[in-house]
Structure 1
Amino acid sequence: MIASTQYQVSHVDLALVLALVRGRSLARAAEQLQVDVSTVFRAIRKLEASLGIALFEKSRRGYMPTQSAQALAEQAERAEQALEAARIALQHGEKVISGTVRLTCTDAVLQNLLLPSLAELMPRYPALSLELATTNTFANLSRRDADIALRLSNAPPEHLVGRQLGHTAYYIFGRPEHREAFQQSPTSVPWIAPDDSMPDHITVAWRQQVHPSLVPRHRCNSMSAVATLVQAGMGVAALPDFMARSLDDVERLSDALLACDTDLWLLTRPDCLALRSVQTLFDELTPRLRARINSR
């Protein structure tokens, strides 16, 4: 991290570091800053001397940023976003929604439900930025590392507030060539399942109860990977119906799995709803996600 120093980092310093982090070379950084290469070289050396730390390491791959340079670059990007938001606010008036909203969900929900909604929604809010993180737990939201969570759950944490958007059912899905063998003996075909990184996934509990002796042939650390293997014809798997809609040449091989229906929730902390950016995204996503999760 940055050493203790009396030197006051300026906006010019942040722009300099960000340009070299992005460009990885003096020439590309100089082009971004519209100065000559020697100016960039001298400025970086002067900044490092003033701070008393190294910001970049020269290698065959170019100028590689140290942890301190990465920290400065992150702040520079935030300043850049803030300036852009201010510019848009001046153009469009006080009603513009700006800021950064941190959103967390699972990879399956992101790919199949959230991304289509965001692609439709975000062009309407040019001053609004997103930070997306995929995780299978509520930890990020609870630790205040995220503002909104989109989660499949029948028991969302009580300290969060939100909206129930609909529910999804789970079925066994596979390619048509697996149908006959599966109907004759479900355990005679290769199964694909979540690995030990998702021990509490609802399909794991169902399989252990209904087919306790079944050992999956293939295991994956995400439901998106499970679905991809199913589409490739490598076996069958229990998947939520909203995921299977986008899989080519894959069909339902079973009725809805008992006790596997799960609600989709849009969640946040009570204090976050006071933020216009969070409230706006909450209100805009609600009808779009309800339409997607409930379409059949």
Structure 2
Amino acid sequence: MRRADMQICMDWRSVTFDWNRARAFLVTAEEGSLSAAARALKLAQPTLGRQVEALEAELGVALFERSGRGLRLTPAGHDLLEHARMMGEGARALSLAAWGQTEALEGEVAISASDAYASYLLPPILDRLHRAEPRIRIEVVVSNALSDLSRREADIAVRNVRPTEPDLIWRRVRDAQARLYAAPGYLDRLGRPEAAESFSAAEFIEIDASGSLMGLLNAKGFSLDEGNFPYRCRSFTVMWEMVRQGMGIGILDDRIGDADPSVERAVPGFAPIDFPVWIVAHRDIARSRRLRVVFDALVEGFGA
């Protein structure tokens, strides 16, 4: 090895760098404030602030300046931000690669699913899995939003939209059907109408903040306005409990609705709404035997 190359190698080995400080800088820059970054990293704000200050002292530059609404990157902070992002991607790639190497059928696997699937369809699948592989521990991440698998918000996700991220693998396990349901007593009070146009006096429970259910139903022959939607929530399980208590009509996967004896199909002739069910995982961690076992169990359970 040439003397110059040896010097470069020695200089590299002498560098000490704390990734936690770089991560504190990166997340603070992305979130725009120390308080938001502390919540994202689950750290106390003073701890996070000390990490950022320590990085500034270590590098000998100011990374942030205070503005009226939070923190603003200095020119030096802007120059270093992309390097911090590259470090973050490298750290995630290292973690994913290490996670994917294990062949042991033990350890934790995080599964992301909507609250409806997590409450009603996932438990029997997990019970069978636990009986077969008792050393695998499952964390259920309940979210009606799409979990970011690349950032390890979950290892495997149950989704109803086709994945588009290039670093994911997936299986389309079935085409599910959503139907309208109500409690028998509620339908009795309505006079048990049968045609879609006869539900002008009915109450529906909206599950989407955009009001998409009204447009979807009107496209199928209903004649509804905002007065037909006195309730809105963002939880399928809360919506379902409201339906069961006779507060209105809701829409849900018919594997859940048809299995519940406290409700019945609200509109006999209503054509179901088809939607896909996908099981999704990151392609790197899919090399793990533990992940494959859980992935396959979800494919079998949701596809049955």
TM-score normalized by structure 2? 0.57
| 1:213 corresponds to which of 216, 222, 225 | 225
The share of aligned pairs that are identical, in percent, is: 25
Q: Matched residue of 1:139: which SS?
A: coil
Residues in 1 aligned to 2:144 and 2:215: alpha-carbon distance in whole angstroms:
16
> Compared with structure 1, are the counterparts of its residues 141 and 118 closer, same or farther at alpha carbon in structure 2 (3 Å cutoff)?
same
CA 1:142 to 1:206, structure 2 compared with 1: closer, same or farther past 3 Å? farther
Partner Cα distance (1:257, 1:249) in 2 = 22
1:124 corresponds to which residue?
A: 132
- Kindly state the Cα deviation for residue 195 of structure 1 after the two structures are TM-superposed: 4.9
- Aligned residue number for residue 122 of structure 2: 114
> What corresponds to 1:233 in structure 2?
246
- Report if the CA contact (8 A) 1:170-1:256 is conserved: no
Question: SS of the residue aligned with 1:277?
Answer: helix
On the 8 A contact 2:155/2:282 being kept in 1, the answer is: yes
Segments of structure 1 that go 5 or more residues without pairing to the other structure are 1-65, 69-93, 292-296
Measured against aligned partners, the alpha-carbon deviations of 1:119-152 in whole angstroms (never above 9, x if no partner) come to 1211322221122111112233243221100112
Query: 2: CA distance between counterparts of 1:208 and 1:134?
Result: 31
> Do 2:107 and 2:137's aligned partners in 1 also have CA atoms closer than 8 Å?
yes
Q: Map of 1:233-272 to 2, 5 A cutoff?
A: 233-254=246-267, 255-257=269-271, 260-272=273-285
Find 1:162's aligned residue among 170, 185, 189.
170
Moved over 4 A (4+): 208-212
Aligned to 1:135: 143
* Contact 1:182–1:189 under 8 Å retained in 2: no
**Contact 1:104 1:141 (8 Å CA) reproduced:** no
Q: CA deviation at 1:187?
A: 2.5
Which runs of 5 or more residues in structure 2 are unaligned? 1-42, 46-101
- Which shifted more, 225-234 or 204-213? 204-213
Between the aligned partners of 1:200 and 1:138, the Cα distance in structure 2 is: 19
2:214 and 2:157 map into 1 onto residues whose CA distance is: 23
Contact 2:206 2:232 in 1 (8 A): yes
Match of 2:11 in 1: none
Structure 1 residue corresponding to 2:194, chosen from 175, 183, 186 = 183
Identify if the C-alpha distance between structure 1 residues 96 and 271 changes in structure 2 by more than 3 Å, giving closer, same or farther.
closer
Q: 2:297 aligns with which of 281, 284, 290?
A: 284
Aligned to 1:75: none
- Indicate if the aligned counterparts of 1:104 and 1:133 stay in contact, CA closer than 8 A: yes
Q: Highest Rg: 1 or 2?
A: 2
User: Post-superposition shift, 1:279?
Assistant: 0.9
Between the two proteins, the alignment pairs up a number of residues equal to 196
- The secondary structure found in structure 2 opposite 1:103 is strand
